[in-house]
Structure 1
């Protein structure tokens, strides 16, 4: 199955945009990730550093991107050399020569040349930009080079006088998605939506949470999303009240709800969708009532999205709807106006309303959080975010027993457009009627 890819020209343009924002006579260092040992001589599936990938499109570990802004700006890549003996065991390498042509760098070097060549690019620069603290061994190498340059001033060496964190610049760029990125995220959402539909049709009393998870992961993989964007949450009954439940090892019970928070990763980009539905395909009266409170809050919040609106404003809308709904069901008591003012729903709505989405599932980008912890950054076209209100009633809560132990969350992925929004999550049913109709078609 062929999917949208980011063209090499876009990676080049990103590097040029970053260079344009860097100070004069500066150098930036952005390292790739290293492989991580799982046990003895086996490694975890490699995941590239997202900032490095965003600027290069290069998938191999241990590489280093160097951006130099001077009289002549340059982009340089250090990477592993070709090595037939290693490649027969661990897979093909691009190699420095081919990487220069395939990824359009100005210069490329092998990692064997790093110790000798890298100090040349740092020497005599005024500013060094890198993500200090992100990789301990990389920090050690950088500071060792700086020590050498500082000690060699009699020989014409000079270390940068200013060290600056590169992440703010890159993360602001990553917050705004290009047309190609949006196309990939639409595809990731379509695959993920189909996986949630498959889970609904597979679900029944007596199957295990991990069997439902397997259906989801199979749907991801067979459609080209070979990994999930994060650990899938498949929580039946009271497990749905655990926000990041990933044990996924208990049996599903006939009259309970199942909460699934799962998203595919496609070409590096994450989807993040949550659906909650009855194991037996039919909501009880109380399940339906509480579910519709959450759905009403989500719908009202999404409809308000447009440029200039902030998460803080959306949170007020969601809390108003949730509080009124909980009051109508008798789960909150007292003066309604005061309950709304106090955001009394937060007793049961215990997490944030949403987050940025992109190369990371909880993607980078400043939220402009004020002293009251309100996220006041105005939305702009090209931002992608999640909207995920939820209600979680503890099994021991002093409420009607029919609501005890219920966990409900509904999550969609939203693109901010010039005039409003586009809901990227279009094929995962979320109304009561849609869910019950789909589950009624199951052959299980």
Structure 2
């Protein structure tokens, strides 16, 4: 947990950046699964946690940008709460842990907002991404839900501050990566014929849970790697399958995330075809990681991955023609149809709730309309303190191959007969979390195996 001074310094910087008015940050509420008393696991809003620290439902924070005064709003536990759910910190104790000088009951928030409005002050809010947030903000501001207007000044100030990670934050991300190391080694060790994807996914989640962590997103664990967001199913692993595992966790103490992808050969040995594709994706990934440095455009790194993969695909006979022209026209996206990566921190897609274009493009870059590159979440220049995922991949998706072939799309570049013979291969993605430093970059974490020989060794160790 960070010190109270850390949170106080964050709020002071935010107040200075916003300049004037009243900032209102709502924490998340508990979300019922199927009836009010049965909740989904609680996940706090990233920006609220960044400035207020508290990881509990039903809280709110106001920050007077003129005076710097902060107030935490919340409701104390009732006797019924304490009986059924146990003791919990008081609102005052939560405030003191984050260096917040004032507290008030939840119902006092409406009066504070109304007072600011009567005085002609701007009330700054962030974009709501949950329906209950939008309804609550609408009630506080006295407008219809669809008329809630987020504050551009607040959005930009939060993005600028949260994108740059402190040493303390980086240490928390590395803690999440220590746990992710155990998660992915577990997936490798479990990648044996006869096990089901469900079994491996359960072991991966258990590896996180045993350290008090939860998954940072529903784990992607599948032999259907050609579908980038495919989750585990009942498929029984067989010798020669390629198991893709994309998973990370959230640290219990601070809420920071990890996000890593690896691919394991079921049974312990990559086939020749798998080696060809894996080595190509690894080449692209390592080239992009090596290129991470202050001032470098992440869009340029995405283009580097695209060119590297396209050149390799020409070598494999799947594409033909000039590599630069293939990439310029977008033919390579038949096999690489997502962006290179995204920022990461308190959210696994850090700050995406504030607007992907605003976070990843702002006024520095323009989003492409080309299939594949249009899904690049971040295109701005890298700066010291950014933490980015770097995750190129190659996919052999039969649905997409058939569609493009029927449309005769890029027929001059794509050997569709050859591509059709790769359907059923799956896909390969390799992902690490990278810190941009003053002098270049540092791959975070303990070094989760990704060289083919190292991955094979871990898988083979689980065969006994």
Query: Does the pair score TM above 0.5?
Result: yes
Mark the CA change 1:301 to 1:257 in structure 2 (over 3 Å): closer, same or farther.
Answer: same
Q: Which residue of 1 aligns with 2:437?
A: 417
5 Å-filtered alignment, 1:112-123, equals 112-123=107-118
Contact 2:191 2:264 in 1 (8 A): no
Q: Does 1:432 align with 2:452?
A: yes
After TM superposition, the structure 1 = structure 2 runs for residues 223-372 of structure 1, keeping only pairs within 5 Å, are 223-225=211-213, 227-236=214-223, 239-266=224-251, 267-336=254-323, 338-364=325-351, 366-368=359-361, 369-370=365-366, 372=368
Q: Kindly tell me: are residues 132 and 292 of structure 1, through their superposed partners in 2, closer, same or farther at Cα, counting changes over 3 Å?
A: closer
SS in 2 for 1:276: strand
Per the TM alignment, residue 425 of structure 1 is displaced from its structure 2 partner at its CA by 4.1
Please give the per-residue CA displacement for 1:59-114, whole angstroms capped at 9, x wherever unaligned: 121111011133x3310111112422222112333223333433321210122444
Quick check: 247-256 or 364-373, which moved more?
A: 364-373
Which residue of the partner structure matches residue 153 of structure 1?
Answer: none
**Distance change (3 Å), C-alpha of 1:136 and 1:125:** farther
Q: Which residue number in structure 2 is paired with residue 104 of structure 1?
A: 99
Measured after TM superposition, the shift of residue 138 of structure 1 is 4.7
Query: Which residue matches 2:404?
Result: none
TM superposition shift of 1:222? 1.6
Which range moved further: 113-122 or 101-110?
A: 113-122
Q: Aligned equivalents of 1:111 and 1:167: distance in 2?
A: 24
Which of the residues 5, 9, 20 maps onto 1:9? 5
205-214 vs 388-397, which deviates more?
Answer: 388-397
Please tell me whether residue 382 in structure 1 is matched to residue 378 in structure 2: no
SS in 1 for 2:360: coil
Cα 1:314–1:261 shift into 2, 3 Å = same
The answer to whether the 8 A contact 2:126-2:150 is kept is no
List gaps (5 residues or longer) in structure 2.
144-148, 352-357, 369-373, 402-416
CA offset at residue 206 of structure 1? Answer: 1.4
Q: SS state of the match for residue 280, structure 1? A: coil
Listed one character per residue, the Cα deviations across residues 245-282 of structure 1 (whole Å, up to 9, x for unaligned) are 12433221211100000111113111110001211111
Report the counterpart of residue 33 of structure 2 in structure 1. 38
Q: What aligned pairs does 1:62-211 form with structure 2 within 5 A after superposition?
A: 62-70=58-66, 72-144=67-139, 146-147=141-142, 164-165=151-152, 166-211=154-199
RMSD of aligned Cα (Å): 2.3
Total equivalences in the alignment: 422
Q: Is the 8 A contact 1:27 1:122 kept in 2?
A: no
Deviations 1:184-223 (A, max 9, x none): 1111112102211121112111111111111111211222
**How many Å separate the matches in 1 of 2:9 and 2:444?**
26
Larger Rg: 1
Deviations 1:362-401 (A, max 9, x none): 1127222415357541111000001111011134753267
Structure 2: distance between partners of 1:141 and 1:213: 37
TM-score, with structure 2 as normaliser: 0.85
Call closer, same or farther: CA 1:132–1:264 in 2, change over 3 Å.
closer
- Tell me if the contact between 1:128 and 1:163 (Cα under 8 Å) persists in the aligned partners: no
CA contact (8 A) 2:307 2:323 kept: no
